[in-house]
Every structure is written in C-alpha cells, then in structure tokens.
Amino acid sequence: MTIAPPELPTELREDLHELYRHLHGTPELSMQEHATAELIRQRMETLGCETFLCGGTGVVAVLRNGEGPVVGFRADTDGLPVAEATGLDYASTARGVMPDGAEVPVMHACGHDTHITCAIGAAAILAADRDTWAGTVVFLFQPGEETAEGALAMLRDGLWERTPRPEVVYGQHVWPGRAGQIEISTGPAMAMSDGWRVTVHGRGGHGSRPEDTIDPVVLAAHMVVRIQSIVSREVPAQQSAVVTIATFHAGLKENIIPATAEFTVNVRNLDVGVREKVLGGLRRVIRAEAEASGAPEPEIEEIYTFPLLVNHPAETAAITTVLKGVLGEENVLDRPAQMGSEDFGHLPDAIGVPGVYWFFGGTPAERVDSDEPVPTNHSPFFAPAMEPTLTTGTAAAVAAIMSRVGTHR
C-alpha cells in the first residue's frame, strides 16, 4: 500500500496543469528559452518575487520573507531537438534552429516542463502561506542544461554576486519511474560526461582508384571499432565507464571517396582517474590510427563537459527523512549512481555549499507494472502523467525548502 502525495489546492492544481500543457507545447532549444524565461518572470513576479535574467535566458527569482536561512532551488528550462510522437492533444509542434543553422523539431523530451511547473507550484505555496516560514528562497530557472552551458553561463554572469547566497541548493528531475515515488542517491549521483567531435582528414578521389586516396571513411571506421575496446580492455572491471559514438558523417556520393569524415564521441564515468584513462586512450587511438593510415593528424574538438554530481551525504540523509515523512517511507527509495549527466553540480560547488538532487517518477503504476516498455527521457514518446507527478514534484520541492526555512521545522 502506498501513501499518496499531499493534495494541492484545487485552484492551484488546475492552474499548474494548464501551465504544464502550455510549457509542453512551446519548448525552446538550449540557450534560446526567451519566451519561456519571460513567462517564468511574469509568473514569479505575480507571486511577489524579485526577478532578473542571468546567463542569457536564465531567470533568478528571489522570494523573501523576513530574516532566516537562504535556500536555493533549481529547475532547468530547455527542450531538445526531438520530433514529438506522443499523440497528446497538447503535443509540441515547435521548431527551432540549431547552432549550425539546421531547422529542427523541438520537444520537452526530458521533462524540463515538469521541473518548471513544480518550481512555480512550490513558489505559489510558499507565497500563499508566509506565516509558516521565514527566510529567503532563491529559485534558479536554468537554461541550457542539455548542452552543459546553462549553469556555467549563470555563474559567469555573476549569479552569486547578484543574489543572496544559499546555504544549500536543491534540484530534482522527472524520470520514467513510478509516479508518486522519489529516488535519491548518496554521494556520487550522476556521471561526468565529455563530448568530442572528431574530424578525420584523408585524401579524396574517385571510387575506382582508392590507391590514390587516403580513405577517411575506412580510417574513421577503424577508430570507432578500436575505441570500443578502451573500456573493455583498459578500465578495471570493478570500475565503470561508457563510450558511445552516436553520429558518423562522411561523403556525398557513392563513387566519390571524401576528403574528411566526422564522428562524435560521448564518454561517461564516475571517477576522475577513470575519466583521465579513457580520454587519454581516446586520443592515443585516434592519433595512432591516423598515423597507421598515413593520414594527417585528426582534429579533436571538445564540445562539452558535465561535472560529477555529488549529493552531500549529511544533507541527503536529512532530505531523505523529510521526504519520507511527506510521501511515505515506501515512496522514497535509494538510487544507485547512474551514468546520466547534469550540470546542476556547478551551482552549489561554485560557492562551496552542499547540493542535493533527486528524481521523481512520471509513469503511472499500471504502466510500470505491465510488460509494455516505458519510454525514457529523450524519447519522442516521453510524456510524464500529469498526476500524481506534478503534485509529487511540487510537494517534494516544498518539503525540501521548508526543512530549512520552516518556522516549525
């Protein structure tokens, strides 16, 4: 038997549902969240918050209520270049333009619309019930999480010089677990991640005369295959790493050997030493394969780096107790560290305060318990059920914040 999350006031619940539908249908790409930022500012100012833009399209909303602790709460705001296939009546048909100029469909395929809605819901509850708490809550609506740009952009824009510094920063993320439940990790929670773009140079020519060329397709293919042995043959079995090559582009016609080929690499791990070993192995293999083919040295462009997300052990234990009290012990589960990545950790790490980050489920219990596959984050079919997902996320946010600023804590 499970305990349902606390009921939201009917008017607030209906308002959050309408807000969520709107956000889901109007996603914007990373660092382009202009309309989203304006909507957030309007909503938060209506609740009595002081707001300002930070890091381009990020929004900081400060809710003050007298003397007391300062708490940070972060929600990310960007969508993904994914064509939605959920069939929802509020599905996204939005389009966006990538940095390379390509026009793409846009979808909230990672649930950031849910995060925005829950943060605004939490602010609404706090603003309406000021007699129960004292202090300051700094809501951080962060852009560009998907590209690892947003947190650093806000910090470079003077985030912690422009707003009260919190003593702790909280964050949360919807995922395809059971709706109504929370999962939380202690210590390392989400992996470091590095993205590279590799351009392999050869010598182009006619497909009938490969002897006059240096074929970059064959060369890059050898790199791709050899790279996969780095983890299996160089990383100890007791440790972990993931190497993924998800894009490979070369050539325009079947009888022309191109001059270049390009692929991207994604590396994830939970240990700095393993990261250095894998990245070093990547550079070695890429350069050695090019040399073996008599090709020029490839170009390696570092696209992004996500930090290791570490949940502060003592603060995590405290929040776990709080969430169990609100949602029921059976609905707050321990979660092992995972290979997904987040840039949330930059925000507390920049000022040396604890950070705690948890996941809340978005899949109805009957779907979880069935044999039917459950769409995951980044899937074109990912669509969290509005309830109890939004109520759970809002209740968790309020409970965490109130554990610091509540007058009866």
Active-site residues: which are they? 78, 145
Read off the amino acid at residue 209: R
Q: What is the crossing angle of helices 386-405 and 112-128, to 10°? A: 50
b/e per residue, 370-387, with b = 16+ CB within 10 A? Answer: eeeebbebebbebbbebb
- As a whole number of angstroms, the distance between CA 392 and CA 258 comes to 53
Query: Tokens 């440790």 — which residue?
Result: 239
Instruction: Please name the helix (run of DSSP H) or strand (run of DSSP E) that holds residue 249, with its range, or none.
Output: strand 241-250
DSSP for 12-33 reads HHHHHHHHHHHHHHS---TT--
Number of C-beta neighbours around residue 246 at 10 A: 9
C-alpha to C-alpha distance for 344 and 330, rounded to whole angstroms: 27
Four-residue CA torsion sign, 335, 371, 118, 38:
positive
| CA dihedral (374, 376, 382, 387) positive or negative | positive
Distances, alpha carbon 52 to alpha carbons 27, 42, 138, 205, in Å: 21, 11, 11, 56
- Spatial separation of the C-alpha atoms in residues 226 and 285, rounded to whole Å: 7
Distance CA 264, CA 249 (A): 9
Non-local (6+) Cβ contacts of 24 within 8 A are 88, 90, 91, 92, 108, 113
Q: Report d(CA 278, CA 229) in Å as an integer.
A: 10
